[in-house]
Structure 1
Amino acid sequence: MTTPKEPSSPEHRTALVTGGTGGIGLAIARRFQADGMQVAVLDLDRPGARDIAAEHGLTFIRADLGQREDCRRAVDETVAALGGLDVLVNNAGFQHIAPVADFPEDTWDAMLRVMLTAPFLLSKYAWPSLIRSGQGRIINVSSIHGHVASPFKSAYVSAKHGLIGLTRTAALEAGEQGLTVNAICPGYVRTPLVTGQMADQARTRGISVEEVEQRVMLESAAIKQLLNPEDIAALASYVASPAAWGMTGAVLDLDLGWTAR
């Protein structure tokens, strides 16, 4: 039986958060900073991304997660910049709304590369550093759509289901090495991505954005209110903490009661 190693002091813990310059990713990165970690955020070199990272004192790692070589380089650059890696958060993703019969094949491929293949590759490449940490954490940001489906989201739902399977498998393999692997499954969170989804759903269904929020996104929820990114960050903070050393292979729902039915 493996005994957990004594955790290093908070100021020496390090984290890499993908999709970390906006929405849930940025909220997690800032919460980790408040917890005393040094944090790198990975994102496309989109307008303003470097400025956001610099504004918050985050190390910016430019990468296209659809490219295998970028995944390896991103891990190497993070370890070099921060002196190691204790926590990997696989959060990056994007959305496209379309029926299966009309779903663009190249978009399907791109979504699965970013939201399923990239978490596998980043975990694989970060594995040695996370094991050396003695308190390594992989946190995969899945979704309620990792449990259930909604129309017009075939690629997103497939990727999020797959991410839960990856989480559970990696947890079984990593347990004796002191590395934990868990998934967080949020309900709908008020982010630019979800705002865009609501607009897409409104066009697809021929209803207003307000009707999408209440009739589609919150209809099955027990709490009729969208989550905020900081709510997800608070849960990630605990999962990343030394106190959570015994939690692995867990799929943690923060979904307003959406999947309780």
Structure 2
Amino acid sequence: MSTLSGKTALITGSVQGIGLAVAKVLAGAGARIAVHGLADAQQAEAAVSAVRSAGAPDARFFDADVRDVAKIEAMMAEVAEWGGADILVNNAGIQKTASLADADAATWDAILAVNLSAAFHTMRLGLPAMAERGFGRVINIASVHGLVGSINKAPYVASKFGLVGMSKVAALEYASAGTRETGGVTVNCIAPGWTETAIIEAQVQARAEQFGGDTEKGIADLLAEKQPSRRTSAPEEIGELALWLCHRHAHNVTGATIPVDGGWTAQ
């Protein structure tokens, strides 16, 4: 496939998990890939190699710490010099479970900075150039927790609800950019439920402890509680949805939040 031939995609947090899976799927469609993350040289090289092997005609690693606005601005300037991002996937995210009583200011500040403020800055810097070109895709990886609440996750839920709301505003502001022929500029969220990534490992292990350390029983118990399908999603499935949103025929799909949650938010 060469659906995205000539396009450049910046995917934050793409050295592993959902971000890397999205990068590989977009690479397979012909996009150049700006890989991003906080990683050592070996991990960064492995991620770049993986997206090249998946089909990217070119790939480059960016190591900006997205908690730092100046570093985000520098990264976006470097990406612009490299040709500019036609596709921006805000995937970088962190989570820490704690009750409201136990969560501290540092936890709040870190989660909001990575999950919400970083996306604000990449969008404000990236969207104007997309509008000028008449084509652009912003895909923000939110969560079911951008649609429903959950105990012990106040900062995370707040960040994801904020991301969903901010995406709607951006979608409205750029809805008239471009044309059907150029593809327009769209801003959407994908809201995964339980997905096979490192971010859920702590919760899986905590639940497994209730079953004598049995990880499979811990996962099954988590799924039974929230996700009616009782199936996790594979990261590449999120990537395939992101690819569909990048097609020109998705020019009128904007301001949407699409759950991939096995019916979690349908309850």
Same fold (TM over 0.5): yes
Aligned AA for 2:36? Answer: L
In the other structure, the counterpart of 1:154 is: 154
Q: Secondary structure at the match of 1:100?
A: coil
In the other structure, the counterpart of 1:142 is: 142
Deviates more, 1:38-47 or 1:142-151: 38-47
Output the CA distance in 2 between the equivalents of 1:66 and 1:198.
Answer: 27
Deviations 1:122-158 (A, max 9, x none): 0001122221231101100001111111111111111
Match of 1:40 among 34, 37, 53: 34
Contact map agreement 1:53 1:59 (CA 8 A) in 2: no
In the other structure, the counterpart of 2:64 is: 63
1:100 aligns with 2:100: yes
User: Which sections of structure 1, spanning at least 5 residues, go unmatched?
Assistant: 1-7
In the other structure, the counterpart of 1:190 is: 196
Change (3 A) 1:217 1:149: farther
Aligned AA for 2:145? Answer: H
Aligned AA for 2:7? Answer: R
Deviations 1:46-66 (A, max 9, x none): 463322233223310111000
In the other structure, the counterpart of 1:4 is: none
Query: Alpha carbon RMSD of aligned pairs, Å?
Result: 1.9
Output the CA distance in 1 between the equivalents of 2:118 and 2:133.
Answer: 22
Deviation at 1:95, TM superposition (A): 1.3
TM-score relative to the length of structure 2: 0.88
Q: Secondary structure at the match of 2:106?
A: helix
Aligned AA for 1:54? Answer: V
In the other structure, the counterpart of 1:227 is: 233
Contact map agreement 1:100 1:152 (CA 8 A) in 2: yes
Change (3 A) 1:142 1:62: same
Within 5 Å, give how 1:6-85 maps onto structure 2. 10-46=4-40, 48-56=42-50, 57=52, 58-81=59-82, 83-85=83-85
Aligned AA for 2:247? Answer: S
Change (3 A) 1:101 1:237: same
In the other structure, the counterpart of 1:90 is: 90
Deviation at 1:102, TM superposition (A): 0.7
Identity score, percent: 36
Contact map agreement 2:3 2:247 (CA 8 A) in 1: no
Deviates more, 1:29-38 or 1:71-80: 71-80
Matched residue pairs, number? 252
Deviation at 1:9, TM superposition (A): 7.4
Aligned AA for 1:43? Answer: G
Change (3 A) 1:122 1:200: farther
Output the CA distance in 1 between the equivalents of 2:103 and 2:208.
Answer: 18
Deviates more, 1:163-172 or 1:52-61: 52-61
Deviation at 1:215, TM superposition (A): 2.5
TM-score relative to the length of structure 1: 0.90
Contact map agreement 2:3 2:29 (CA 8 A) in 1: no
Deviation at 1:192, TM superposition (A): 1.5
Contact map agreement 2:11 2:35 (CA 8 A) in 1: yes
Change (3 A) 1:213 1:9: closer
User: Which sections of structure 2, spanning at least 5 residues, go unmatched?
Assistant: 53-58, 178-183
Deviation at 1:202, TM superposition (A): 5.1
Contact map agreement 1:146 1:164 (CA 8 A) in 2: yes
